[in-house]
Amino acid sequence: MKFKFWGVRGSIATPGPSTVKYGGNTTCIEIRTDDDDLIILDAGTGIHMLGQQLLQQLPITAHIFITHTHWDHIQGLPFFAPIFIPGNSLKLFGGLDPVTHEGIERALNVQLQDSYFPVSEAELNASVEYNTIKAGETIRIGNAEITSILLSHSGLNFGYRVDCDHQSLFFTGDYEPLHNIYRPEDSQYATSQAFIDDKLKDIISLMQGVDALIMDASYTTEEYQTKTGWGHGTYNLALKHAALAKVKKLFLTHHEPTRTDQQLESIHQQLITNNPVINYDIILAQEGVENVF
Ligand SMILES: [Zn+2]
Ligand SMILES: [Zn+2]
């Protein structure tokens, strides 16, 4: 199994000279199993370039797992060129919307309304299949097993663990680890903390020992003071999860849109300096870079 980042940016695409090294496209990860099955995690703007490359390999079957339907994770779907070409197959997986109770079909059909896009869903020439999945469900694609878990964000967000070819990765999508809103002297503090501890235990258990943990690390701890509740985590929270789950490599992603390449590298250097005795690699997710285990 190998994987490649096609988009690593959070919230909004940010092309330009200050993001040219790590990339400005929003979330998209391509996974290839040793049998060449194609699994894609999220369909942010990065999936456009992936689609262009796949035009050299038609016909294709793409299994696309959506963490959640915020724009930066689905916006590239209507621009994924293989969906317009007969013979290709697109299988979309994702959770039920907790508010509207609609399935994952909404990720595409909301965007293909006349008000937002010139081509309608009926005009797509590829075969498109929708699979609405439940938290905890495991889906098998060839030799790969993909297991979902509900992670806290604003609205529903699935983290996915992918196991294949004796290798494993975990992608959080957007994830703000739960925190206790009560003070230790409040009567609800202990109950709330017990719930948070249980939830973290379940998450760490599914992340346990993965070769690659790809985690939302949008903010510094300092920035987080004013962005608590916005649905994203920090660099230090990512390190905490990596240590608890004993992962081999930690990839930091969902780079904050105003973060320049230089700032990312400076933060990365500080993380390494401040954590001299960790036994996993800390890596900045970088668009266009293929990662082998
Ligand atoms: Zn996002
Ligand atoms: Zn989000």
The domains located in the chain, with CATH, are: 2-292 (3.60.15.10)
CA of 86 to the centre of ligand 1 (A): 31
Nearest ligand to the CA atom of 72: 1
Gap from CA of 184 to ligand 1 centroid (Å): 32
Tens digit of pLDDT per residue, the chain (293 long)?
A: 999 999 999 999 999 999 999 999 999 999 999 999 999 999 999 999 999 999 999 999 999 999 999 999 999 999 999 999 999 999 999 999 878 889 999 999 999 999 999 999 999 999 999 999 999 999 999 999 999 999 999 888 999 999 999 999 999 999 999 999 999 999 999 999 999 999 999 999 999 999 999 999 999 999 999 999 999 999 999 999 999 999 999 999 999 999 999 999 999 999 999 999 999 999 999 999 999 87
Element (H, E) at 190: helix 189-207
* CA 70 to centroid of ligand 2, rounded, Å: 5
Q: Report the C-alpha gap between 131 and 125 in whole angstroms.
A: 19
Give the SS3 label for residue 31.
strand
**pLDDT at residue 154, as a whole number:** 86
Classify residue 262 as exposed, middle or buried by CB count within 10 Å of its CB (0-12, 13-18, 19+): exposed
pLDDT of residue 99: 81
d(C-alpha 232, C-alpha 152), whole Å:
9
* Burial (Cβ within 10 Å: 0-12, 13-18, ≥19) of residue 63: buried
231 C-alpha vs ligand 2 centroid, how far in Å?
A: 7
Q: Distance, CA 111 to ligand 1 centroid (Å)?
A: 17
- CA 274–ligand 1 middle distance (angstroms): 27
What is the model's pLDDT at position 100? Answer: 85
- Between the CA of 130 and the centroid of ligand 2 the distance, in Å, is 21
* Interatomic CA distance for residues 56 and 233, integer angstroms: 37
Q: Which tokens in the block code for residue 170?
A: 């975990």
What integer pLDDT is reported at residue 50 of this predicted model? 98
10 CA distance to ligand 2 middle (Å): 8
Do the beta carbons of residue 46 and residue 26 sit within 8 Å?
A: yes
39: CA distance to ligand 1 center in Å? Answer: 19
Nearest listed ligand to the Cα of residue 254: 1
Whole-angstrom distance, CA of residue 81 vs CA of residue 53: 10
Q: 49: closest CA among 86, 7, 18?
A: 7
